Copies of this chain bind each other. A is one copy, B any other.
Amino acid sequence: MTDVHPPELRVALVGHGFMGAAHSQAFRVAPRFFDLPLAPVMSTLVGRNAAATTAAAEKWGWQKTSNDWHEVVDDPDIDLIDISSPGSTHVEIAVAALAAGKHVLCEKPLANSVEEAEVMAAAAAEAAKKGVFAMVGFTYRRVPAITFARDLVARGALGQIRQVRAAYLQDWLVDEEGPMTWRLDKSKAGSGSLGDIGAHAIDAVQFITGQTLDSVSGLLHTFVTERPLLDESVAQTSLGGAASSERGQVTVDDVALFTARLSGGAIGTFEATRFATGRKNAFRIEIHGSKGALAFDLERENELEFYDAEAPSDLLGFKRILVTEPEHPYFANWWPTGHTIGYEHGFSHQLVDLVNALAAGEQPTPSFADGLQVQRVLEAVERSSDGGSAWTTTA
């Protein structure tokens, strides 16, 4: 800790749903555990509904509110705009913010289409030339077990990667009477399981293996095509709320299944589903290489299983590593050995990496170009599904 206080990074957050809460917690907590070169200031919370925005700002500790995101884009006191609103809003806000010289952190998936993502990536590339940077929020990269998995692959502990198995399993749609929300409306969410949680699977696998998904064969499926509309007169969350007697069309996928060929010669299977009865947030990744293997499950996010194929022949097995030691990514700044962290901590780690990059004048990762590449994979899965699961390139 130095005597001199770090310069401020004044933040506006757009959106106050689930993601808004998670991002607010990161702005509040990260500076208390990590020595940051810039001091985030929770300046403005942006939301369309004045009362709800004010309530959220007060609850989460934002200094002021706005009901029009243009205001923060125009506000000279804002340094960073954090976009946590639905995917359909990303492109307009991000492009305007970057043009106004604001750094941008944008929730995933980057956009609702490749076209939008291309616009965003182009705007980000242009802004970067002026030292204004954009980052997309694939937060799970910053779960210590996943970051450490990447490190293990990078240091060659798995040898040549051959097989990947990624499944993001949730079950919150199993009940056929569960209501419609914006997440089930293609015009707002872009896609269903595919973009919401399948995007995480794509990014995490690419991040860990250092390989990209070059072509895919996919199937999107919707089990329940009509659901009760939400009663708009009752308070609701982004994942649910009170149902009315009317029904609306579900226009996104419940399940996305796809197979992929990766750039380094690996092949992989992917699944994203909200119909995996019994699995609440089971984001599972298994990677098999010529020298070793890894297994991870987000329901046990403080653990990584590692198999060293070069161990003595009677001592082969998956080792359950508690990724809670000072030697593990990000952990030295938290609690003593063996004391766990939870879901929200990944958001703090993301902020740490973003702030460090901004202070250094470097491009934070994943960039909008990275987000665009994931968007292309998502679209390729959709096209493959529309085309009878024919192999489809992602380039």
Give me the interface of A with B, judged by CB distance under 8 Å: 1, 18, 21-22, 24-25, 28-29, 32, 55, 58-61, 148, 158, 162-163, 165, 167, 170-172, 174, 176, 217, 219, 221, 223, 237, 239, 255, 257, 259, 267, 269, 271, 273, 275-282, 286, 288-293, 298-302, 306-307, 309, 311, 313-322, 324-325, 327-328, 335-345, 388-391
Contact = CB atoms under 8 A, between A and B. Distances in A.
Number of copies: 4
B338 A322 contact: no
Contacts of A165: 167, 271
A168 to B, nearest CB: 11
A391 to B, nearest CB: 5
A313 B326 CA distance: 9
Given A32-B28, A342-B342, A322 B267 contact: no
23 contacts: A1-B55, A18-B335, A32-B60, A162-B223, A162-B275, A163-B273, A170-B338, A174-B309, A217-B217, A217-B388, A277-B288, A277-B307, A280-B322, A281-B337, A298-B340, A299-B340, A313-B325, A314-B327, A316-B325, A339-B342, A341-B344, A389-B390, A389-B391
Nearest to A35: B59
Nearest to A389: B217
A232 to B, nearest CB: 20
A29 B25 contact: yes
Contacts of A344: 335, 341
B325 A314 contact: yes
Given A22-B335, A32-B61, A299-B302, 10 more contacts: A1-B58, A21-B335, A162-B223, A174-B290, A219-B259, A237-B336, A298-B340, A314-B327, A317-B321, A319-B319
Contacts of A158: 277
Contacts of A289: 277
A321 to B, nearest CB: 4
A181 to B, nearest CB: 12
Contacts of A162: 223, 275, 277
A222 to B, nearest CB: 11
